[in-house]
Amino acid sequence: MDTALALELLRKSLQDLCEVFNQNEFNPLLESDVAAHLYHRLLMNGCPSLHLYSETRICGIDEENRKYDLAIGSVDTELACVKPVLIAQLKCFQRWGFSHQQHRRRFEGIIVEDIESLKQASGVLREGRVEIVADFVHTSQTIGYLNGSWNGKKRRDVLISLCRENALSLIWVHPNPDDKLVVERLV
């Protein structure tokens, strides 16, 4: 499997996630629900289970406790790590049960943890490093958490800039004005 095919499977799986959410057949409460559903959809869309890993180590990343949300690649059984063609970090902004402060900490987690871990993986994989933001926020004041501001800048623009600087892809799953989830590749 190569990076282009892995990215296409990821795109299709995110579209599927939007479809079941929009049909009210999937109401994730936690990030782990989204990760599990995405893993399932990747398998259903043809990603061989032999190449799909969650919460896993990547070969060539020295920090032994660093784990990545999703990786597609082959396993090195001697080193117990994945030789990736795609690495994805996932961050969710839930619609229900989270305060503004919790959302803010999650956003800062993208900057401090996710971007940094994907940046660290650049020595192992130049293409195919992806930040996925699953943004379910839809209130009378906000359609999508990334549309709000952080330190005087639009959150979406902050992430776009950081991802561009670090040669990362950024995929945003978010509600449209009709409250239907859509997938948008920002970088």
CA–CA distance, 119 with 93 (Å, rounded to integer): 22
pLDDT of residue 160: 98
Could you tell me the residue ranges of all domains in the chain? 3-185
pLDDT of residue 129: 97
pLDDT tens digit sequence for 113-141: 999 999 999 999 999 999 999 999 998 78
pTM of this structure: 0.94
pLDDT tens digit sequence for 47-99: 999 999 999 999 999 876 789 999 999 999 999 999 999 999 999 999 988 99
Nearby residues of 93 by Cβ (< 8 Å), 6 or more positions away: 103, 106, 107, 133, 134, 135, 136, 137, 145, 146
Q: Residue 155 in contact with residue 107, Cβ under 8 Å?
A: yes
pLDDT of residue 140: 77
- Using the predicted structure, report yes or no on whether residue 166 has a pLDDT greater than 90: yes
pLDDT of residue 65: 77
**Residue 154 parent element (H or E):** strand 153-154
pLDDT of residue 114: 96
Q: What are the beta bridge partners of residue 71? A: 53, 87
pLDDT of residue 141: 80
Percent of the chain with pLDDT over 90: 93
pLDDT of residue 155: 97
Residue 27's CB is within 10 A of a number of other CB atoms, namely: 12
pLDDT of residue 62: 80
The pLDDT confidence band at residue 167, using thresholds 50, 70 and 90, is very high
pLDDT of residue 142: 83
